[in-house]
Chains A and B, each alone.
Chain A
């Protein structure tokens, strides 16, 4: 079956790019390069989600991960330095924690059903049938079932998510503006604001 072979090939290429980019980000000391690579990482993840037919997730990943967060990280670099300082001594403990967590996650994936397996528990549950058939033909008439589930069946949930986004903006405003007011007496920050240069 050539179609499956092509998809497997695309998967292998995307995953090997992801792994090599992740390793490069971990090794590199230039933060500007790391930010750009993390943007590319997000874009490749979006490609991977598209291959897996999760178009809504891919859309979000491409717009937020590769777009907005890259810009925000670049702006953060403008506030700090471009070069990461070298650690004073090699950090062994974080490496052990990371390896243990990664190993535990790999071990846990052994219990997960194969991708697209029709006998997986999530496809056997009666709610899946309800969301796909009853929702589409009787209750909602909304072809994109992601929208109908997120907006209507789980409307509370999405209201909560919107409030989380709202809270995040309030927190950013408090953090970014509060500091300037408190440190007004110091001579460094008292200069008039000039915006992005």
Chain B
């Protein structure tokens, strides 16, 4: 166990960093905000950490600075951006990321130019990385519960409904955007102090693809999906080394299959397996004794005729969904 752990320490470290990056994508996508801005925050966090670490600033202080700066920066950036929806917001945040790459490439001493910064003091242990990832998971998981969870669910699905029940849609969107930036920034900072190097190539388009893959393959519905996706992306190359040259092809095909056939990602597959197992058990149990008195689940107060009629009505109603109430 110990030898195996030592041999795979890098993978554990990568997983912790990926978990934070995947969460930064998952929180926005779950809330219906199509943003890649956390990758830009990853870059800013990475360079900030490199500069502070070489000046002897302890990692805990660096992380605090990154969190505060990225939350504030994310929130301020969200103010002009949050009226954008869908692909338009995606394009703008993508452009911001690319601008930051250019800035990093031409940043002189602070960014080390195209070569980047090397020999940043290693300041964090694998355990420390894991701890930060756990804090990130805790923060994000609390967003899925209680009133905050319900508000986020409804503001993704139906913004007008959210407003009508008193959810401050704009504030939610800004806060989630800021949280995503903070998570991305911390992931970037940890990446630098763990691998001792940062280059303009370490964020930008490649990282957007990686982050999106983790969040979507894992399942954007929950933090659990982000964690699964991060583990998948971090560990797949190592565990599939036997595939040799076919590794990338298998990886691509797996990603396509999951995205095409399971919109809830790996998390959806796991839930399906668990439910399937339970369903099997239930069927086997109900098959043995005759289901005496187990009437079909008709809701009380609704006559069978009314419910049959109603289901037809609701099917035709589906077509009317999204029909503007102000017509």
Do A and B come together as binding partners?
Answer: no
Interface residues of chain B, those whose CB is within 8 Å of chain A, are none
